[in-house]
Amino acid sequence: MLIESTAHLPISLAMFQDVFNSPSGDELWRILLRWLHFVAGITWIGLLYFFNLVNVPVQKGLDAETKKKVNPDLLGRTLWWFRWGAVVTVLAGLMYFAMVILKADVTNANNVGRGNVNIWYVLIMWLLYPIVLFAIEYLIIKKVPALTKDGRVFAIVVFVLVALFTYGLISFFTSAFSVGTESYASNKSYSIGIGGAYGILMMLNVWGIIWPNNKRILAATAGTGPAAPPELARQAFLASRTNAWLSLPMLLFMGTSHGDWVILGR
């Protein structure tokens, strides 16, 4: 019976030959790069939400002795995965954006539109946007307490900065890929370019503010370092809360990069 029931198994599986295809070398590395980007991103953003939605309210209810016992090990481990998850997410996404998305648009602009678009120029100029924005945000958090004392005021300032930043990115992509009156910037370049730039800003917040401040705070809590200035916790909180809110439009733009579009696209 078993032999009879499985005798036609290869024939029955033949119907799936158009569904299951072995990926080529180029397809395989793109799949692996996207997979790595997703896994690292889930780790990073998941821990970001843990910090903001779970850890912040829990810490308010802990006494100093409990924090001394729990935080160095718990938060030390969490921050390790948090900061390196950010790095892997950004590096994998950056490689994919440059080697797949931007390359395709540059090829179209130069081959179809007969333009002279340089991918390195586009990539470097694009990277400068989140770096400059982080520098401004860093100076505000570190040097302008008048704007950080009230979280609502800080939120408005950041909102305005991000809005100007986003408008600048849209204008830049439109201009960089324009040949004559035609722009060859695709929806993917706009969406991933904006969302990815948010992600780079968030990674800079992690490594430039959140991790250095928490490292000093944890060392002081464990008794292995000098007392941490009280403003460090506030600064780390503001950077982390900025990342939490910024992750929402970042994920929206990532989700609208394939077919659907929010601002511009084709």
For the segment 78-101, the average pLDDT, to the nearest whole number, is 96
- Give the residue from 155, 251, 241 showing the smallest Cα distance to 194: 251
Whole-model pTM: value is: 0.88
179: phi then psi, degrees, rounded to nearest 5: -125, 105
Residue 119, token pair as written in the block = 């991918």
Tokens of 9: 């198994």
- Residue 196: per-residue pLDDT: 96
For residue 1, what pLDDT is reported?
Answer: 47
Q: In the predicted model, what is the mean pLDDT of residues 163-180?
A: 94
Task: Taking residues 180-195, report their average pLDDT.
Answer: 90
> How many beta carbons lie within 10 A of that of residue 152, not counting itself?
7
**pLDDT at 262 > cutoff 80:** no
Q: How confident is the model at residue 180 (pLDDT cuts 50, 70, 90)?
A: confident
* Predicted local confidence at residue 66, as pLDDT: 93
Residue 259: what pLDDT? 60
What average pLDDT does range 119-126 have in this prediction? 96
pLDDT at 181: 86
Lowest mean pLDDT among 14-28, 81-95, 241-255: 14-28
Alpha-helix residue ranges (DSSP H) falling in 9-150: 9-13, 25-49, 56-60, 64-96, 103-107, 119-143, 145-148
Rounded CA separation 55/49 (Å):
9
Q: Which tens digit of pLDDT belongs to each residue from 21-58?
A: 666 667 889 999 999 999 999 999 999 999 999 999 99
The pLDDT score that the predictor gives to residue 113 is: 87
Evaluate whether 203 touches 222 at the Cβ level (below 8 Å).
no
Q: What is the pLDDT of residue 238?
A: 98
Is residue 113 within 8 Å of 179, Cβ to Cβ? yes
pLDDT tens track for 136-156: 999 999 999 999 999 999 999
What radius of gyration, in Å, describes the C-alpha atoms of the chain? 23
% of the chain residues with pLDDT over 70? 87
Task: Summarize the confidence of residues 170-181 as an average pLDDT.
Answer: 92
Q: Say if CB 169 and CB 193 are below 8 A apart.
A: yes
Beta 178-179 vs 182-183: how paired, if at all? Answer: antiparallel
Residue 62 has pLDDT above 80, yes or no: yes
With 50 as the cut, is the pLDDT of residue 2 above it?
no
Percent of residues, the chain, with pLDDT higher than 90: 77
Distance CA 79, CA 207 (A): 10
Count of beta carbons in the 10 Å neighbourhood of residue 64: 7
Looking at every residue in the chain, the average pLDDT score rounds to: 90
pLDDT number for residue 263: 54
> 173 falls in which pLDDT band (50, 70, 90)?
very high
Q: What confidence score (pLDDT) does residue 87 get?
A: 98
DSSP string, 152-198: HHHHHHHHHHHHHHHHHHHHHHHHHTEETTEE---HHHHHHHHHHHH
